[in-house]
Structure 1
Amino acid sequence: METVILAVVIAVVVLAALGGLLVGTRRKKPLPPPPPKAPDITAPPAEPHIGEEAETPREEPRRTIEEVDLPGGPAPVAVEEPPAAVEAPEIEIPEPTAGRLVRLRARLSRSQNALGKGLLTLLSREHLDDETWEEIEDTLLTADVGVQPTQELVESLRERVKVLGTRTPQELRGLLREELLKVVGTDFDRTVKTEPEDRKPGIVMVVGVNGTGKTTTTGKLARVLVADGRTVVLGAADTFRAAAADQLQTWGERVGAYTVRGPEAGDPASVAFDAVKEGKEMGVDVVLIDTAGRLHTKTGLMDELGKVKRVVEKHAPLDEVLLVLDATTGQNGLVQARVFAEVVDITGIVLTKLDGTAKGGIVVAVQRELGVPVKLVGLGEGADDLAPFEPEAFVDALIGD
């Protein structure tokens, strides 16, 4: 028994001694060397000692002080350049209006020659029977001359051809020219009234339905007036179409005309009133007022157009109320003309898109309908394609050379 206990004690002592040796061995294991110390890159380079020659400086591009980051200093502040001044639009000098329709005659005749040539071909037939005269009548009606003027023209032509007897092409052309001039009318006063004798400015209101080119026509009319030496203020009283005021102002800036405008969907009568007031204060020659394109079926809108007219006339009477009609609409244009004439006293007609239709007879029909003259015609998309209407040049374009 004692022998067993002694053996156990010896075993414990031996195990303890072995454990101590292992622990000591682990503690005495050398540690790995520390990593090398990184050089101080912020330290300044060593100064050369006395007697040492300095290194020859290297050629390096010089930097401005704004490009150098000073240690510890504030970041350089970028200096903002002032915004470039907005240049005023260049003022254009419009083409003179004298004889403008004559210069545009070729453009007009391209679309209108069908009428003149058709009539001359029919009149040149050897035998002018009733069927031929019916064809002549149909040609005139197709060109939108209107029923009453067509009957008058055909009757007069029949009488004169019967008296003339023999008919050379030159005689027929002269005969047709005279009769067309009669129905177009040479005794109308076609000047646009912009210079009242007793006051300034002249006041012109432009009316018409949507899509006839009314705002564009107002801008082109400003060019016509400037070309004739007048000063102009534009009133953007079409407040219901968002782009109308911007469009009109652009037209005005091109010729140096000032534009009076109001808030979108504002009161058109208020804008028109302010435009005339501004025109008086500035001492300009003419105020042009562009009104909203009224649908002639909307009674309320037509009443509002009458209100614009009444408010403007608190300053002075209107000198012109110009109705803009699209020549391509034909008889529909006459319906529009009647309704507008009931609301405001139309004093003149502007026919746009006359170069795009062979129905130049609308000139005759609308004058007969309203009893007022066509004063201006639009012959294209160009800025100077609005021309004073000249009956002789128009008829010459109808019948060609």
Structure 2
Amino acid sequence: MTPRFRFSLPRSLRGPGDPERLALAARTAVAAAVAWWLAPYVPLADAEYSYYAPLGVLVSMYPTLARSAKSGAQTIAGLGLGIALGFAGVGLVLLLEVPGALIVALVVGVGVVLGGIRALGVGADWVAMAGLFVLLLGGASPEEFSMSYLVTTAFGVLVGLVANLVLFPPLYLRKAGSRLTALRDAVAGHLHDMADAVASGDVSPDDLDRAARELSETSREVSEAVRDADESMRANPRALRHREDAELNRRRLRALERTVFSTRDLGDVLARGQEEHDERPTEGPPDLLAEAIHRVADLVAQPPVEADAQDELEAAVAALDRYTAAVDESTAPAPSHVAPDLTAAVCLRRIVDAARPFV
């Protein structure tokens, strides 16, 4: 069986040329410049440490506003914990005259341990770093450095959040929809390949297994894209007009996940049947099974709420009924001999049922 379809994400969706990546870069650049320009006027912070403001922008700029807010809060929490650790190290140096090298090792070691706190998230990486900065760069007035470090970085985080909110806040619904369509086409193509293999008697278990792994991987990627789209709607003023689109994406994802699961099951049935019988994967009529798989694949390939989907649904149901009727009329010596045929029919029926809500 030589698959006709190989799923791969468009390069523009995965590389630096992704329009959404370019938009994120533009927002980050503008926010960093504004943070640097305004940092000298931030209260409680020394203008000497203005460079921490663009750093705050960088650590808080993520593709979605919700993730930016979460990462910004985690970073500030990590910085605060690290600064407290650095102050403790300075106190050990001044009060107990502990050797500097030992204090550096202690601060870094404890910082790495504290970084294991899961609630800190991305801020975990900043605990040891902030402690080390306070210890090594604080000089004679670590409190002044620490205040400027924390306040200026927090200001940069705030600027980044405002930029993400004001400068065309990203909404990834269209991207998720295109990924769902690609997954739909991949499943339909794989079903057509299986139908061709059944009709020709050339079912390859290795090809079926490889295609099933690709479908599973693609399904995981699409699930992530839909979750990103949902996350991009949180606190996003643009989301108010697109709630129906988000709900449609979630419904499509659930249906396609069921379809992928049943398609993999169907492939397993065909592969086991081929290995056991060597001639054909099932005892039932291969031409009727192939026709049923083709018609189900046509139904899967239909866009949501397409006008022609009703015809495709009726054709799929009719072809599946013809196949199951032929299995019922078979003269197999024992029920176990038709078990693969019945399992294949159940898999196809589940795929049809997953598509019904969109007809």
- Do both proteins adopt the same fold according to a TM-score greater than 0.5, normalized to the shorter chain? no
TM-score, L = length of structure 1: 0.24
Q: Which has the higher helix share?
A: 2
Q: Which has the higher strand share?
A: 1
TM-score, L = length of structure 2: 0.26
